Each structure stands twice: as structure tokens, then as C-alpha cells.
Amino acid sequence: MAKSSEPAVGIDLGTTYSAVATIENGRPKTLLNEEGELITPSVVFFDRNTAVVGREAIKAAEHEPERLACFAKREMGDAVFHKSICGQQFPPDVIQAIVLEKLYRDAQRHLGPFTKAVVTVPAYFNEPRRKATQDAGRMAGLDVIDIINEPTAAAIAYGVQQGFVDASGQATKHERVLVYDLGGGTFDVTLMDIKGAQFRALATAGDVYLGGVDWDTRIAEHLASVFLNDHKVDLHADSAAWERLMHAASEAKKSLTARDETVVPIAHESKKLKLKLTRAEFESLTADLLDRTRLTVRRLLKEAGLAWKDVTRLLAVGGSTRMPMVGRMLEEESGLKFDRSVSPDEAVAHGAAVYAGMLLKAGGAIDGITVSNVNSHDLGVLGVDPETRRPRRKIMIPRNTALPAQVTKPFKTARDKQDSIKVQVIEGGTDSGSNATAIGTCVINDLPPLPAGTTIQVMFRYGQDGRLAVKASIPSIERDAHLEIERASGIPEDDIVGWADCIRAGLGVPDEG
């Protein structure tokens, strides 16, 4: 494969902060944004004439919080963001696209014109969320050449930095790394096996609704409760006051990382309060959140059929791992030292850049690395139980199956004189199909009337690139149908083009009326 003229670019599109990295002389390097910072807040302020991203968005929102959109990553794949901006609604994908466009623009200041990039996602993202991330990249003007899971990217960056991956891409020794990734809004834990040039995910688990912002919210709720008790004023009722309180809570959390106690000032109108908060109180307020991550790690090891003695390294990724309670809990659980040698803010972007260099043969990239993943959610078919006549899920590819994977299973028609077959493809959910995500439908129409109990063979082929191929066939009459899903369906194509034009033109939101 010829070397690419494109630079190797990796983008960590985070819930609270994002970062961009490239490869220079074979090593990953974070690119500074226009403000001279390594990381960019993933927030958008919809001004009247344009959208503002990052630190300036946070400043502008102090007086008009109703124009601020943040934590959109948690809602990727949903139809609309939960909060309307001056009466207008936006898909979360569009909000993330605006963040990406800012990152893209800032990167071009260093690298010159380019289009191709690898963008990261939580390992526990389902297919619609992955598709939404790709769509966001397109709307920002990027050619997203691949999506890589954040813990996998962090493991690659760690291997390169620590030198147990040499210039040819070979690991100098066998490592089994547990990557604990607690970011601002999402949590992932992935067990990676690194042997030779192979980076192989063994199992993954996580929670897309758990991150540092939940720790902030606990502090803010505590402060609001004290303020209500002392001054009989509910700070929830004023969006600007709540925004300031959340900021104060975040700063208090950071202080308690370095100190045993801090004082949080709260001011609203003419009323003021200074509240002392100790690290012990903070840890008590949030103990259940930490326990959720502990239980997820235990479940991961159980599903992988491994124990802590099988793990050689415990890697911390994500800004929220700076909280002392996290490292203490994991060291007690594992008996291993909590490794903080990589930058929790930069590791994911660095790994994505290394992976981009590998794909593009660019930037003096390390050669020979192969990356293999597992699927993070069950993939199956939703049918009807012939006895109860109720919906019933049949799993085709269980979660944590090594990819690529191919499975064929037989099904039976449920009734006589059936003249069409519909195979509903779903992801996740319960055995009854509850809480499952619809992925697509494979249909065979215009059949001769079939008797009940006719065999239908259903084949799933799930590739490393996220493409799911489904084939339904009826051997007795030699009829079949094919469905190939390149990620799940998201924003319609025409809307993607329209939003992209709006973002490039500068997307402002005038006042209502």
C-alpha cells in the first residue's frame, strides 16, 4: 500500500472534553487548539449569528445558559437533543458535528488541508450511536475512515509510549491490560490482550450514562439542598443559577482530588453561603456511583472467564480517574498498581492517531499493528414464540464475541399459508425484546403459501468494520433475501447534507419571535 499524503489524525470526541492528535516522526502528538490548549470543552453556545465551541462557549453561557448545549454525546443516536435552543431543536449528532468542525478547523492550522481522520467512541456504544458519530464527522466535513473504541485506542497509545510496542509494531512481551476508562460522561472497561503486533479485545462492558458529570451533579444537589434549607430558595428553579452551581461543583471535585477539604462559595441574588466539603463527605455522596463501576469490572472479568491474577496491567484513562477514590478502589479489588503513566486526557486521541497512521501509512506510522474487537451488545432476531405468541429474541451473535463472526441458525414459520418472511434484526435488549435497538429488517415477499414449521435459515456475518450482513433463506423453495447494514440508519442523507451546509455557513440561533 502506497504511503498517503494525508496526515494521520485521531480525534477523541468526548462528552466533556475533546482532543486531536497526529503522528510526527512515528510518535503521537496532541495538537493545540486555537486557544493554545490541549483539550477543548465539548460544549456549544448557539449565539445569534454563529455557534461558539469550547471555553468561549462556557463564558458566553454564564449570562444565557439557555443557549448552551453540553453532554450531547450521551444522546447520540436520539432523534433530538433533550433541550431546545430558543425554540429550535437539534439532533445530538449536529451538536457533536459543530464540536468536530471546530476541532477540524483548529487541526488544519497545524497540518494544512486534510479530510481523513479516525474518531473514537465508547466501546459500549451501540450501532446507532456509532452511526451517529460517523454522520457527525461527515457533517463537519471529515472523511471518517474508521471508528475505534476508546479503550482500544488508549491501550495502543500506552503500548507505544511505554515502549512495549517497537517500531515494527511488535509487542516486546505479552500483556493483558484492563483499561478502566471513566470520562466526563461515559464509562468503559475493556480487557485487552497484546501479543506481538496484535491488539485484541477480549471483553468489554460499560455504561453510556455514567461519568464525571454524575459526580458533579451529586455535589450540586447537596449544595442546593443546604442552600434551600438555609435560605428557602430552590436553585433548580433558575437555569443560570444551576449552571453556576454545577460549575462550582466541578471545581470542588477537582479541589478534592488534591486536598482533603475545600470551601464552596454559593451566591444567588442577595443570598450567600460558604459550605465546607470534605473528601470523605464527597466520597460518601458518590459511593454508589463508584460501586457501579466496580460491579461492571467484576462482571467483565466473569464474562471473560478470567481473574485478576490473569491481568498484567491496570490502565487509567479519562479525566475522572484522577479522583483518589477510583485508584484506591481498583487497587483494593485487583492487587495491582493503578497505572497513571499516560495522560488521561490525551491517551485516547494518541491511540486513534496511531491507528489512523496505520490505516493511511502516514506520519512515519508504526507498521504491522492489527486491531481486533468484540461486539459490545448481543445481536439477534426478534420473532414470535409459537406457544405464547409473544415477542421472543433469539441471540445470533452474543456480546463479547470476537470479530469478525459468522453464525447461521434455523427458524420456523409460525403459521400456515405464510406468503412473506420478515427477519427483524435487533441489538441488545431482554429475552422478550424489551429495550432492544432495531437495526434493520430482511424481507422475503411473494412466497407460495408456506405451511407452519417451514425452516428458514438466517445467517449473520458481522465484520470488524461494523458492517452487518444478514441473509434469510428458505432451502425448500430456494428463495433468499440479503440485507447489508453499514452501521444502523441515522439522519437521512438529505438532512446530513443540509446540516453540513448550515454548519459550514455558521449556525446561529436568533431570539424567539
Looking at residue 88, the DSSP 8-state letter turns out to be B
Question: Which is catalytic among the residues 73, 102, 131, 253?
Answer: 73
Question: Which is catalytic among the residues 150, 193, 216, 378?
Answer: 150
Choose among 4, 10, 6: nearest CA to 27. Answer: 10
Q: How many CB atoms lie under 10 A from the CB of residue 513?
A: 5
Strands 338-339, 467-474: pairing is unpaired
Three-state DSSP class for 416?
Answer: coil
Has 309 been annotated as catalytic?
Answer: no
Separation CA 271–CA 268 (nearest Å): 5
Question: Which is catalytic among the residues 12, 75, 106, 207?
Answer: 12
Has 150 been annotated as catalytic?
Answer: yes
Q: Is 492 exposed, middle or buried (0-12, 13-18, 19+ CB in 10 A)?
A: exposed
Residue type (1 letter), 296: T
Q: Are 72 and 57 in contact (CB under 8 A)?
A: no
Three-state DSSP class for 235?
Answer: helix
Choose among 392, 379, 399: nearest CA to 467. Answer: 379
The H or E element that residue 147 is part of is strand 143-149
Question: Which is catalytic among the residues 75, 93, 181, 378?
Answer: 181
Has 73 been annotated as catalytic?
Answer: yes
List the Cα angle 135/138/143 in 5-degree steps.
120
Separation CA 279–CA 256 (nearest Å): 6
Has 385 been annotated as catalytic?
Answer: no
Choose among 466, 469, 406: nearest CA to 440. Answer: 469
**Grid coordinates given for 437:** 435497538
Residue type (1 letter), 414: A
**Grid coordinates given for 259:** 486536598
- Catalytic positions, written as ranges: 12, 73, 150, 181
